[in-house]
Structure 1
Amino acid sequence: MDRIQSLELDLDRLVTGLQEVTSAFAGTVAGLDPQATVPTCPEWRVRDLVGHIGQAYRWSAGLVRSRAAAPPPDPRDAEPGGPQEWTTWLRDSAADLVAAITDAGPETDVWTFVGEQPARFWLRRMLADSAVHLADAAITAGRPFTISPDLAADTISEGLGLISTAGAAGLKPELGELRGHGQTLQLRPTDVEPGWLITREADGVTWERRTADADVVVESPVRDLLLVFSRRTTPDDPRLTISGDQALVDHWWDHTSF
């Protein structure tokens, strides 16, 4: 498959971003009932969500060290310990991933589900995954979702990079429904620049980081764009301003998943 598009954040920011999001996640789940259901991932309990984060860090660290494929583990098999141990376990898991990438070299090719990529792929992937699950934790806790705008923006770009990768529909067949005939969607954040111009082409999705006119424009702070992009809120969320062809946004939302 194609190489994923170049980084928008440098390696140091990806590392500090992972630490930042991991700490925010740990703080958000502190005090929650481990058996409580996560509304945005109803098949998981809070303990499963915590287990997934730390387990995914350690699993991806193992992929970097072995440079070979390994099946994704079941979050229910993770052993994060009791709630009082979660913060330490999560931070240690993040440190394990950073150490694996540092030792291997961030530009060393390793296995990924989209073909060989530099080891730093897993740092960015885990940061993006944790950013979305931070939203899950905040929704579960009934707290506002907060994230640095640069991390929210890079999570959107990382997701678009995966969606637009050649063969993406082979991994998630519903993405094949995003093919089109030049229809354009503009994600326009009010607090960072530029936005994202997404085009539905006959052979898949393409995108650029630029602000432009489009068939439909979705405007809000980047945090809220991330929520709708990751399906943690719906297109009718009043925090979003949508102008143009609403059906394009609804179609996109219906055929993406994270």
Structure 2
Amino acid sequence: MRSAALKAGPDAPVPSCPEWTVLDLVRHQAAVHSWAAQAVVAEPDAGRPEWPKPPKDFDEALSWWDNELSVLITRLREAPADRPAWTFQGPLQAGFWARRQAHETSIHRIDAELATGHELPSLVFDSEFAADGIDEMLTVMIPRQLQLGRQIAGTGRLLVHAADAGRTWEVHLTSGEPLVVTDVQDSAVDADATIAGTADAIYRALWGRPSHAIVSGDQSLLAALPRP
């Protein structure tokens, strides 16, 4: 991600984040890493860590990012995955942040690559990793959006099928209600819509990034998911 950001330059627009330049993207990622580093060592009942303010100059922001990322990695390595820690969703354990930051960085790496002018970055995420990212989106990130007051804007069953990872999720959407996600073994179950492809392609599509995933049936159900 850092290499792509340098290649694109601070003023390059980020097509997948229309209001951002690469400088905005770098400052955001740096702040997220700094914030997560605080959360890893915060007690579960300590409350949400204060959001940091990264430097506005590009070179200074890069340097600050390097430092904050180093702190984050050190703390993740030192903290047992089951160590109690503050999180905004799911288990109150330090391991939450290893997963969250891995996917946060991977998606924003796509953004940085797009900012260099690539319409579809050539990097391909490992199927197991991408499948975990799909699961995180469906079971952590979308429920988080619902907690923040956003709502599901459609009703129906969406089947998410990542053939190369051997995983399928059945997603029940009901307007104004929590999302219900179930791992299923049979990809041939009846559904109102299906999104299928490699785990990498579905991972990108769920995050609203360019993708080769195929959506069939009622495509409005995918749009109805309140994604970050």
TM-score category, normalised to shorter length: 0.7 to 0.9
Q: Provide, for residues 37-83 of structure 1, a one-character-per-residue CA deviation record: whole Å limited to 9, x for no partner.
A: 2122122210121122222112111122232322334xxx4138655
Equivalence for 1:120: 95
1:54 & 1:84 partners in 2: Cα distance? Answer: 11
Q: Please state how far the C-alpha of 1:126 moved relative to its aligned partner.
A: 1.2
Structure 1's 209 and 201: CA in aligned 2 closer, same or farther, altered over 3 A?
A: same
Q: Please state how far the C-alpha of 1:219 moved relative to its aligned partner.
A: 1.5
CA RMSD of aligned residues (A): 2.8
- Where in structure 2 are the equivalents of 1:5-20 lying within 5 Å? none
Q: Please state how far the C-alpha of 1:100 moved relative to its aligned partner.
A: 1.7
1:189 to 155, 159, 162: 162
2:200 & 2:90 partners in 1: Cα distance? Answer: 30
Give yes or no for the alignment of 1:204 onto 2:159: no
Letter in 1 for 2:49: A
Equivalence for 2:29: 53
Aligned with 1:195: secondary structure? strand
**8 Å Cα contact 2:159/2:169 also seen in 1:** yes
1:127 & 1:200 partners in 2: Cα distance? Answer: 27
- Where in structure 2 are the equivalents of 1:105-144 lying within 5 Å? 105-114=80-89, 117-143=92-118, 144=121
Give yes or no for the alignment of 1:156 onto 2:130: no
Q: Please state how far the C-alpha of 1:119 moved relative to its aligned partner.
A: 1.0
Equivalence for 1:38: 14
Structure in which a larger fraction of residues adopt helix: 1
TM-score by length of 1: 0.72
Give yes or no for the alignment of 1:72 onto 2:51: yes
Letter in 2 for 1:151: F
Structure 1's 83 and 195: CA in aligned 2 closer, same or farther, altered over 3 A?
A: farther
Q: Please state how far the C-alpha of 1:201 moved relative to its aligned partner.
A: 5.2
1:94 & 1:153 partners in 2: Cα distance? Answer: 24
2:136 & 2:225 partners in 1: Cα distance? Answer: 17
Aligned with 2:159: secondary structure? strand
**8 Å Cα contact 1:110/1:119 also seen in 2:** yes
> 5+ unaligned residues in a row in structure 2: which ranges?
none
- Where in structure 2 are the equivalents of 1:213-252 lying within 5 Å? 213=189, 214-233=191-210, 239-243=212-216, 245-246=217-218, 249-252=219-222
Structure 1's 35 and 225: CA in aligned 2 closer, same or farther, altered over 3 A?
A: same
Letter in 1 for 2:223: W
TM-score by length of 2: 0.80
Aligned with 1:117: secondary structure? coil
Equivalence for 2:146: 169
1:115 & 1:240 partners in 2: Cα distance? Answer: 28
How many equivalent residue pairs? 218
Q: Please state how far the C-alpha of 1:208 moved relative to its aligned partner.
A: 2.7
Equivalence for 1:11: none
Q: Please state how far the C-alpha of 1:254 moved relative to its aligned partner.
A: 4.0
Q: Provide, for residues 168-225 of structure 1, a one-character-per-residue CA deviation record: whole Å limited to 9, x for no partner.
A: 52314234x35x4xx3211222422112221225842122333422322212222221
1:62 to 38, 63, 71: 38
Aligned with 2:19: secondary structure? strand
1:164 & 1:52 partners in 2: Cα distance? Answer: 20
Structure 1's 163 and 201: CA in aligned 2 closer, same or farther, altered over 3 A?
A: farther
